[in-house]
């Protein structure tokens, strides 16, 4: 057996055993130990990685096979999570929240970008464009980490449905939308003339990679949804066919968008929402089944792989700056902004709801994806140590605090309701 094949099957065994472990004791880990599944997966990956036991080692150098693998794994994990998020949303939810979604994707995400960039500029003394690039990488929230926060048993009992749906909508859409922010400093770093950089950003980034991605997603999603509706009318399809159709449509959209060099994640979001609108009721059951059947395997594979390649030695060398930066990002990047925006967001009717939505904007797979994609650029800082430290910190802090804060901030009378 070649080393590559041996590594593959070793990873497969670790992922499978981790899923067996958490499936048998998910409630104990989550509600007694306050450990989310991504935390467990990250710890397992770290334990088998080179820093602890060195059972599995992956080379995360720029351009390496492991780097490319983790980048694409992050992309696929996000695509699967986005499909699951779309299946959770009831019919008409996106249309109902359209104005709120526009606000959080423009004012909200731009605010997180600028706040994160300002902190990077101040703490690390980066050049302006380097700080703007790191801030853009940290701007999107993560649907993988956000989903357990608003879909677990405790969340279903206590968190108002409109609050959870807004968090899911934001996290599902801003992973792809963040590309507009990332590409702006990237183009400015690539071009000596600002006018050429802005033209490239507008034409290639906004109009092609984002505009065409939205169009691709809407068309593929509508075709898949109508095909399923037509098949059900003919009694050729059944209820069980929705989940394979949803996953296949999401992955096909991702592949087509990637071949056309557009934003695959944004295309998947619009395809999933468009397709889901043609599905019959029962969204909560569909989303739960999807997460159990497919999403968990993708999540564990990604976070275990991430745990293996975490640059722990580099963290220790920079801990005096990384730790205060991470604390500042978690406290300042999002929470004050959402408290300020809450009067414009009808889904957040109370101060505690705005605080909950403001706190739970976890940093995850999208940040890893963008950091790996644009690390090593001439004139840009090394994004990997900082971005990976922020992701690991967010996984732990948001994972540990989710159960406690849900119990503290909401009562049983708050749960449920309409989108």
Annotated domain spans of the chain: 66-409
Average pLDDT over residues 56-67: 79
> Candidates 3.40.50.300, 1.20.1530.20, 3.40.50.720, 2.60.120.470; correct CATH number of 66-409?
1.20.1530.20
The β-bridge partners of 416 are 160
**Cβ count within 10 A of residue 119:** 21
Retrieve residue 276's tokens.
């889901």
| Average pLDDT value over all residues in the chain | 87
Quick one: pLDDT at residue 284? 47
Half-sphere exposure of 318 (CA within 13 A, CB side): 19
Confidence of residue 398 (pLDDT cuts 50, 70, 90): very high
Instruction: With cut-offs at 50, 70 and 90, classify the pLDDT of residue 328.
Output: very high
Q: The pTM is what?
A: 0.91
* Residue that wins the pLDDT comparison between 240 and 10: 10
Confidence of residue 380 (pLDDT cuts 50, 70, 90): confident
> b/e string for 164-192 if b means 16 or more Cβ within 10 A?
bbbbbbbbbbbbbbbbbbbbbbbbbbeee
Residue 282 has pLDDT above 70, yes or no: no
Other Cβ atoms less than 10 A from the Cβ of 197: the count is 20
Contacts of 21 (CB under 8 A, 6+ apart): 40
> Residue 290: what pLDDT?
59
pLDDT of 103 = 96
Tell me phi and psi for residue 144, to 5 degrees: -65, -45
Residues 6+ apart with CB under 8 A from 106: none
- Which residues contact residue 154 at a Cβ distance below 8 angstroms, ignoring those fewer than 6 apart? 31, 403, 406, 407
Q: How far apart are CA 171 and CA 154, in angstroms?
A: 20
d(CA 80, CA 265): 10
């Amino acid at each position: 057996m070649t080393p590559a094949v041996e590594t593959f099957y070793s990873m497969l065994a670790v992922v499978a055993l981790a899923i067996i472990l958490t499936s048998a004791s998910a409630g104990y880990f989550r509600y007694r130990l306050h450990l989310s599944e991504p935390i467990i997966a990250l710890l397992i990956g770290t334990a088998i990685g080179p820093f602890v036991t060195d059972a599995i080692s992956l080379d995360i150098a720029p351009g390496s096979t492991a780097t490319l693998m983790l980048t694409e794994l992050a992309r696929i994990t996000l695509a699967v999570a986005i499909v699951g998020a779309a299946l959770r949303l009831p019919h008409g939810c996106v249309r109902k929240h359209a104005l709120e979604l526009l606000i959080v994707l423009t004012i909200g995400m731009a605010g997180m970008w600028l706040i994160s960039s300002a902190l990077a500029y101040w703490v690390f003394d980066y050049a302006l464009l380097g700080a703007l690039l790191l801030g853009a990488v940290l701007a999107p929230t993560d649907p993988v980490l956000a989903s357990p926060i608003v879909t677990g048993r405790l969340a279903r009992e206590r968190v108002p449905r409109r609050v959870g749906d807004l968090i899911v909508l934001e996290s599902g859409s801003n992973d792809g939308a963040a590309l507009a922010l990332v590409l702006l400093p990237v183009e400015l770093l690539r071009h000596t003339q600002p006018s050429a950089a802005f033209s490239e950003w507008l034409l290639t980034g906004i109009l092609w990679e984002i505009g065409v991605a939205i169009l691709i997603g809407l068309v593929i999603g509508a075709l898949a949804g109508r095909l399923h509706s037509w098949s059900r009318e003919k009694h050729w399809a059944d209820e069980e066919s929705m989940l394979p159709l949803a996953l296949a449509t999401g992955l096909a959209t991702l592949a087509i968008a990637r071949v056309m060099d557009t934003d695959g994640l944004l295309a998947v979001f619009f395809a999933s929402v468009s397709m889901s609108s043609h599905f019959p009721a029962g969204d909560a059951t569909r989303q739960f089944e999807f997460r159990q059947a497919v999403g968990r395997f993708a999540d564990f594979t990604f976070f275990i792989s991430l745990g293996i390649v975490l640059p722990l030695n580099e963290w220790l060398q920079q801990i005096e700056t990384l730790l205060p930066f991470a604390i500042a990002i978690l406290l300042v990047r999002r929470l004050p902004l959402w408290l300020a925006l809450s009067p414009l967001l009808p889904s957040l009717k109370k101060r505690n709801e705005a605080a909950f939505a403001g706190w739970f904007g976890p940093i995850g797979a999208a940040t890893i994806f963008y950091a790996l994609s644009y690390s090593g650029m001439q004139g840009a800082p090394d994004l990997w140590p900082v971005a990976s430290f922020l992701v690991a910190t967010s996984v732990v802090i948001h994972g540990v605090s989710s159960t406690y804060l849900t119990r503290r901030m909401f009562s049983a009378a708050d749960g449920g309701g309409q989108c």
